[in-house]
Structure 1
Amino acid sequence: MGTVTAIKGAKGTRYRAQVRRKGHPQQSEYFARRKDAEAWVRKIETELDAGRFLFDGAAKKRTVSELIDRYEADVLPQKKSARDQRQQLSIWREMVGQEKLLGLSTATLMEARRKIAERQTRHDKPVSNATVNRYLAVFSHVLTVAENQYQWIPENPMRRVPLLKEAQGRDRVLSNIEIQRLLAACSEIVDRRLEVIVLLALTSAMRRGEIMGLTWDRVFLDQGLLKIEEPKNGQRRMVTVLPEVVAKMAELDVDGGRDGLVFPNKTLTGAWDFKKSWQKVLQQADLDDFRFHDLRHTAAKLIAKSGGSVPQIATILGHKSFKMASRYAHLTEDHTRDLLSRTMKEVLPDE
């Protein structure tokens, strides 16, 4: 809606023209004559009706770096992955920070994508397509906030930048014999906490961060339950712990009422970094190309092979949807077939 307001001052009367339209920043201008102000209002409204997005002088000078600054102040503190995203945004600032926000084109973003893909990891390896896509996703959200919340740009130019094709997820899981070798190696290590950590990952499909973030006030050994407060997807859930693992956790809680982290470092200032111990047991168990997170996949496959359904696997893994758990669906097919066969035998006539 456009309005013209007379403003009287020491130097006479001026006319303030304003146009407000939902989904667009407010436009305003001052004129010496009312008819000029009214003409300006009509012009702006005509351009808005035609689908053009208008900006004042300040908006046209705004840079990508200014947008990142505001995003880091307003939005980033609310994110659990703030540390990683801040690092990713520093790369975007380096590449396109000086660009005028309104002039940021898809072509510029495509070039930035190419440069990110050419970067090296800290281990001097090329970054994966999945990593490049994470960079694109982070900056795309920044631009979406600029479009929808700040109304600094008419649209997010990242929407026209295609994601790179990602390789299929790792499929390294342990065989039963390898599991036995791993547990045997863990039982021989001096610090027996690693055995408990591995058992939690293997029998409950817990993530490393969930395990290392456990505090004793969320461990209910008498019930065989652990309370996960902040898993990766933001949900809270209860994790069932097998009696064998409960017994080993009880050995850690020798005082019968510890507080703080279940697996703290020596100074009690954070979680234990068990990297060296983990590498040692992998070598002793003769396990190649195996990562700690692969224990979670191993657990999921064991559950699937034992007849667990996709919804059950998703619940145990703490997934919000069935999409991630569906990668194990083919392992449940035999059990599904057996279930249907038993069910139908009760209703179908014998041949």
Structure 2
Amino acid sequence: MATIWKKKFVNSKGKNESRYVARIRRKGHKPQSKTFKRKGDADKWARDIESEMDKGIFVSREAAEGTTLAEAIERYIDEYIKIRLKHSKRETDRANAIKDRDIGRLFLARIRGKEIASFIKEREAEGVVGNTIRLDLALLSKLFEVARRDWGMESLVNPTKLAHKPKTGQNRTRRLEDGEEEKLLEHASDKFKPIIRFALETAMRRAEIAGLDWTGVDLKNSSLYLAETKNFEERTIPLSPTAIDILKRLPRQIQGSVFELSADQITGHMRRAVKSAEIVDLRFHDLRHEAISRLFENTDLDTMEIKMISGHKSMQMLARYSHLRANKLAERLAGAKR
């Protein structure tokens, strides 16, 4: 049987308050106790716990009820992000930003769909775009799954699965206009020029280019190997003759960085070149969009082959490029061969 008693105390403002403490002692289980504002809540908690014990399905909530989200995030950073993610800084920064918010002070067992919904509204009120909020939720979802699976908090429910997630923003469709490629190369530094050309030939992401090592380059077989990508999957990329020529013109080493610029340095070089060339609203990632568009427009590679080059996770993510093949499809309907 559960024992429930009223506990009186003086709060920090000097006022008298009371709480109801529920305690359960059962043979074969550690004693369980919890404090509530209302007696009805204490009664319900005790009934639920005793029912689970009777059915043999009880899982202790002690760890989840005694660990705040902020504390869990610190552990998640140390035991998961820093160890399992190769490029961990961005995810660490995201985790720390969430840790410092109001939701970080809540105990894990206290966080439900309602609290996640409040977090989403708070972020939206700050003007944060849907894609960024979804990345925050993905981090929280992974944390709860790790806590359930690896930290012995099986009683936890992943609250992000219950929340209505914000819509993703519309994908950028910025492409290079006539003369912009030439202007960009003209105003780029000598160290940055080959990176621009290489990005347009390979459709590689900024982080992939920055992390490219000579040990992964195979000029003999016209390919390069990426041990880890944005999708946390390895990928082998076939190289065009132009891409091979770009690599051959670089100072070759047995190992070490191919382009010798970090991801942030690539962004810095891009901003300076765009500003100097007086080009409006062009980002480095737009070069990837341009490269993939050219693969659809200028080659007979099918969508699956382009997916292998671009490293997209699904065919659906390439669907927005399908309109670039409309004229070729019309030609085939008229009898033209691939």
- TM-score of Structure 1 vs Structure 2, range by shorter chain: 0.7 to 0.9
Structure 1 residues 109 and 178, CA gap change in structure 2 (3 angstroms): same
Q: Which amino acid aligns with 2:192?
A: L
Shift of 1:295: 0.6
Shift of 1:325: 1.4
Of 273-282 and 192-201, the range deviating more from structure 2 = 273-282
Structure 1 residues 45 and 275, CA gap change in structure 2 (3 angstroms): closer
Whether 1:101 aligns to 2:108 is yes
Q: Of the two, which has the highest radius of gyration?
A: 1
Of 66-75 and 328-337, the range deviating more from structure 2 = 66-75
| 2:59–2:154 contact (8 Å) kept in structure 1 | no
| 1:314–1:324 contact (8 Å) kept in structure 2 | no
Q: Which amino acid aligns with 1:63?
A: T
Shift of 1:140: 1.9
C-alpha distance in structure 2 between counterparts of 1:264 and 1:237, whole Å: 21
Whether 1:317 aligns to 2:310 is yes
| 2:271–2:283 contact (8 Å) kept in structure 1 | no
C-alpha distance in structure 2 between counterparts of 1:305 and 1:236, whole Å: 27
How large is the Cα RMSD of the aligned pairs?
3.2
- Partner residue, 2:44: none
- Partner residue, 1:262: 258
Structure 1 residues 137 and 195, CA gap change in structure 2 (3 angstroms): same
Whether 1:64 aligns to 2:69 is yes
- 1:227 match: secondary structure: strand
Whether 1:297 aligns to 2:289 is yes
Shift of 1:83: 2.3
Shift of 1:161: 1.5
| 1:263–1:271 contact (8 Å) kept in structure 2 | no
- Partner residue, 1:137: 138
C-alpha distance in structure 2 between counterparts of 1:101 and 1:280, whole Å: 45
C-alpha distance in structure 2 between counterparts of 1:97 and 1:276, whole Å: 33
Report 1:102-181 matches (<5 A). 102-119=109-126, 126-149=127-150, 150-181=152-183
Shift of 1:273: 2.0
| 1:310–1:328 contact (8 Å) kept in structure 2 | no
- Partner residue, 1:182: 184
Shift of 1:222: 4.4
- Partner residue, 1:326: 319
Report 1:9-88 matches (<5 A). 17-18=27-28, 27-28=29-30, 43-46=51-54, 55=60, 60-76=65-81, 77-88=83-94
C-alpha distance in structure 2 between counterparts of 1:168 and 1:272, whole Å: 24
Q: Identity of counterpart residues, as a percentage?
A: 26
C-alpha distance in structure 2 between counterparts of 1:108 and 1:146, whole Å: 18
Report 1:230-249 matches (<5 A). 230-249=228-247
TM-score between both structures, scaled by the size of structure 2 = 0.74
Shift of 1:202: 0.5
Shift of 1:59: 5.0
C-alpha distance in structure 2 between counterparts of 1:299 and 1:148, whole Å: 41
- 1:192 match: secondary structure: coil
Shift of 1:249: 2.8
- 1:264 match: secondary structure: coil
Shift of 1:272: 8.4
| 1:146–1:153 contact (8 Å) kept in structure 2 | no
Structure 1 residues 213 and 337, CA gap change in structure 2 (3 angstroms): same
| 1:308–1:332 contact (8 Å) kept in structure 2 | no
| 2:267–2:284 contact (8 Å) kept in structure 1 | no
TM-score between both structures, scaled by the size of structure 1 = 0.72
| 2:144–2:156 contact (8 Å) kept in structure 1 | no
| 2:184–2:277 contact (8 Å) kept in structure 1 | yes
- Partner residue, 1:219: 217
Aligned length: 293
- 2:157 match: secondary structure: coil
- Partner residue, 2:35: none
Q: Which amino acid aligns with 2:60?
A: F
| 2:217–2:225 contact (8 Å) kept in structure 1 | yes
Shift of 1:171: 0.4
